[in-house]
């Protein structure tokens, strides 16, 4: 469950999980479609060897499995940290599936999906050749509960029995978390508070990476974490400003069919201007010919330039991360307590102008559903307030009249001040212009980024009418719909994401029922049906789903972009 505040960058924030997705950069960037669409960079036979350069704007900070998201930074963490399960490293929709990683399968649930059991593969070792055990995985999870190591995915505190009160291994007197059992060195059992059919998705998070207790030195562990993946940390300068990864000699290809590990060395350099990154990748001179970026998307001007050069266009990958930008209403604030007013705004919205405000159809797709337009999420096409691509001002005026506003209405739209954010002034101005045609005068209230993020996530301070965005930690309707529409997830004294303050027992119950399903294919259509049911209440108005474009160096081979993360998967890249 990630809130993406959609600014340029690859920033993962942890509240109820926050991810900064960019319109011009991504928290989970280009991945999307078929291999052919990634261009000539995907062609050619990949070979082992060479150095892959990664040119980034944001540093890969806090390089500790307790504090990271596996998908962060273009999947860089998963080069070092293996987990019980992982993403299928394939293009497009095939990349939305969970597959085994350290475990022999994706997990074995009991009858009601409240207990999950995993068995480790044979022959698993750390970078020093010592064996990986289930006790190490249990300890790695437990240390993620320590306050000083916060920052990773928050689900375990809610899902594991006893998790809410657990404070981590540094304070538990050696007792550990009783809901994680390790009957032997290869078996691990998780006991959950309630059915969670999507536990295999959660087991892809870095909190499930093994950590040997004897090597744990708390907050200093990030300086040289013990590798279970194909690469080990050779250098970590200035908290991730430069991260050099070299081969882990004890990694076994036989136990890891997902990571290709073609380059000998991966050199990650951060703190670079995004425009400079894209200039260097376009020019592909020297070492930059074997370079990629994990967080610098092509903006509208850069994309126009690239599109005019066939050689450059062939090196651009397209990505679709499950993310929706939308209008949010607080129904406790007048006049948005009246469904007809919310419906009028839904009819008045010009999605075409909103798409143009973030760079046009190459960088965004109009949305009428809250769920992203991907099968894995349960996407079910619907439009409860059909207004066409440019809005239906006449229908909006009709509804306003029925609501007692025959002469129109004046409202305030709150947005972030920063340019380049999809919840920023460009999109807000586009909405202001569209609603004016329907007799709705929109006053714009811009707030500085941090103030904006804090304000719209506070039940006490939440405005009536504002811009918002949401992205999911894994491709399913669950982490998309539950945080935003489950009444039990309303947080009155912290970061709240249920902006409409919806607490409908029928919605809550359906979320519970779907969570019992362990087959994603069975769960998906029910998430789609629930999305439609909620959408009819006009608590949100979906605007668009971002599309991500990134360029790679001319010597880069084997570009793989999945619909799970939307970014080039560095574990698949070759430079020879």
Tell me: the pLDDT tens digits for 279-329? 999 999 999 999 999 999 999 999 999 988 999 999 999 999 999 999 999
pTM of the model: 0.91
Give residue-wise pLDDT tens across range 94-120: 999 999 999 999 999 999 999 999 999
Predicted local confidence at residue 151, as pLDDT: 83
Give the start-to-end residue ranges of the domains of the chain.
Answer: 31-268+564-572, 323-546
350 pLDDT higher than 70: yes
Question: Within 10 A of 230 (CB to CB), how many other CB atoms are there?
Answer: 24
Predicted local confidence at residue 69, as pLDDT: 79
Predicted local confidence at residue 20, as pLDDT: 34
Predicted local confidence at residue 6, as pLDDT: 36
User: What value does the mean pLDDT take over residues 160-177?
Assistant: 95
User: What value does the mean pLDDT take over residues 195-219?
Assistant: 97
pLDDT band at 74 (very low <50, low <70, confident <90, very high): low
User: By percentage, how much of the chain surpasses pLDDT 90?
Assistant: 86
Give residue-wise pLDDT tens across range 496-526: 999 999 999 999 999 999 999 999 999 999 9
Class for the domain spanning 323-546: alpha beta
Predicted local confidence at residue 33, as pLDDT: 37
Give residue-wise pLDDT tens across range 208-248: 999 999 999 999 999 999 999 999 999 999 999 999 999 99
Q: Is 50 left (phi over 0), alpha (psi -120 to 50) or beta?
A: left
Window from 37-41, 172-176, 321-325, 533-537 with minimum mean pLDDT? 37-41
Class for the domain spanning 31-268+564-572: alpha beta
Give the CA angle between residues 363, 8, 449 to the nearest 5°: 125
**Residue 493 burial by CB count (10 A; 0-12/13-18/19+): exposed, middle or buried?**
exposed
Distances (CA, A) of 502 to 113, 482, 488, 499, 568: 27, 11, 9, 8, 36
DSSP state of 361: T
Closest Cα to residue 521, out of 110, 111, 98?
A: 98
- Report which secondary-structure segment, H or E, holds 181: strand 180-184
CA–centroid distance for 93 within its chain: 16
Which tokens hold the place of 463?
């405005």
Give residue-wise pLDDT tens across range 359-383: 999 999 999 999 999 999 999 999 9
Question: Within 10 A of 37 (CB to CB), how many other CB atoms are there?
Answer: 16
Predicted local confidence at residue 417, as pLDDT: 95
Closest Cα to residue 22, out of 556, 416, 370?
A: 416
Residue 353 · residue 434 · CB < 8 Å: yes
pLDDT band at 8 (very low <50, low <70, confident <90, very high): very low
Across 297-306, b (16+ Cβ under 10 Å) vs e yields bbbbebbeeb
pLDDT band at 7 (very low <50, low <70, confident <90, very high): very low
């Amino acid at each position: 469950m990630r809130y993406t505040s959609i600014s340029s960058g690859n920033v993962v924030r942890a509240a109820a999980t926050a991810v900064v997705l960019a319109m011009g950069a991504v928290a989970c960037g280009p991945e999307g479609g078929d291999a052919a669409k990634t261009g000539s960079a995907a062609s050619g036979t990949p070979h082992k060897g060479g150095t892959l350069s990664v040119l980034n704007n944001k540093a890969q900070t806090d390089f500790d499995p307790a504090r990271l998201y596996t998908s962060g930074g273009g999947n860089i963490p998963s080069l070092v940290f293996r987990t019980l399960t992982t993403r299928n490293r394939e293009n497009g929709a095939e990349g939305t599936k969970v597959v085994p990683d350290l475990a022999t399968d994706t997990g074995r649930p009991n009858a009601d999906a409240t207990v999950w059991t995993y068995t480790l593969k044979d022959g698993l070792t750390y970078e020093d050749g010592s064996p990986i055990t289930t006790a190490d995985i249990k300890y790695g999870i437990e240390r993620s509960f320590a306050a000083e190591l916060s920052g990773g995915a928050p689900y375990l505190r809610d899902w594991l029995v006893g998790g809410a009160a657990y404070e981590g291994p540094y304070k538990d007197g050696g007792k550990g978390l009783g809901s994680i059992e390790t009957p032997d060195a290869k078996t691990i059992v998780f006991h959950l508070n309630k059915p969670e059919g999507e536990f295999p998705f959660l087991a892809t998070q870095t909190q499930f990476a093994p950590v040997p207790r004897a090597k744990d030195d708390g907050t200093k562990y990030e300086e040289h974490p013990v590798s279970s993946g194909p690469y080990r940390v050779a250098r970590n300068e200035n908290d991730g400003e430069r991260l050099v990864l070299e081969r882990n000699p004890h990694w076994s290809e036989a136990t890891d069919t997902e990571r290709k590990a073609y380059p000998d060395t991966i050199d990650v350099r951060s703190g670079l201007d995004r425009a400079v990154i894209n200039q260097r990748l376009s020019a592909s001179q020297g070492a930059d010919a074997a370079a990629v970026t994990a967080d610098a998307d092509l903006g509208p001007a850069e994309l126009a330039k690239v599109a005019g050069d066939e050689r450059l266009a062939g090196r651009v990958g397209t990505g679709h991360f499950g993310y929706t930008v939308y209008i949010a209403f607080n129904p406790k604030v007048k006049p948005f307590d009246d469904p007809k007013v919310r419906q009028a705004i839904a009819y008045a919205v010009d999605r075409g102008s909103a798409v143009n405000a973030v760079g046009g159809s190459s960088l965004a797709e109009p949305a009428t559903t809250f769920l992203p337009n991907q099968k894995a999420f349960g996407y079910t096409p619907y439009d409860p307030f059909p207004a066409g691509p440019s809005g239906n001002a006449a229908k909006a005026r009709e509804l306003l009249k029925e609501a007692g506003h025959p002469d129109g209405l004046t409202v305030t739209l709150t947005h972030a001040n920063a340019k380049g954010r999809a919840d920023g002034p460009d999109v807000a101005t586009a909405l202001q212009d569209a609603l004016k045609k329907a007799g709705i005068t929109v006053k714009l209230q811009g707030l500085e980024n941090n103030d904006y993020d804090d304000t719209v996530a506070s039940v006490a301070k939440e405005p009536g009418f504002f811009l918002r965005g949401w992205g999911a930690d894994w491709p399913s309707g669950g982490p998309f719909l539950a945080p935003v529409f489950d009444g039990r997830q309303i947080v009155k004294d912290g970061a709240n994401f249920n902006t409409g303050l919806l607490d409908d027992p029928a919605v809550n119950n359906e979320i519970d029922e779907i969570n019992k399903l362990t087959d994603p294919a069975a769960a998906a259509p029910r998430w789609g049906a629930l999305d439609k049911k909620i959408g009819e209440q006009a608590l949100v108005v979906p605007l668009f789903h971002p599309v991500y474009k990134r360029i790679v160096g001319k010597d880069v081979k084997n570009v793989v972009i999945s619909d799970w993360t939307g970014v080039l998967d560095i574990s698949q890249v070759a430079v020879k």
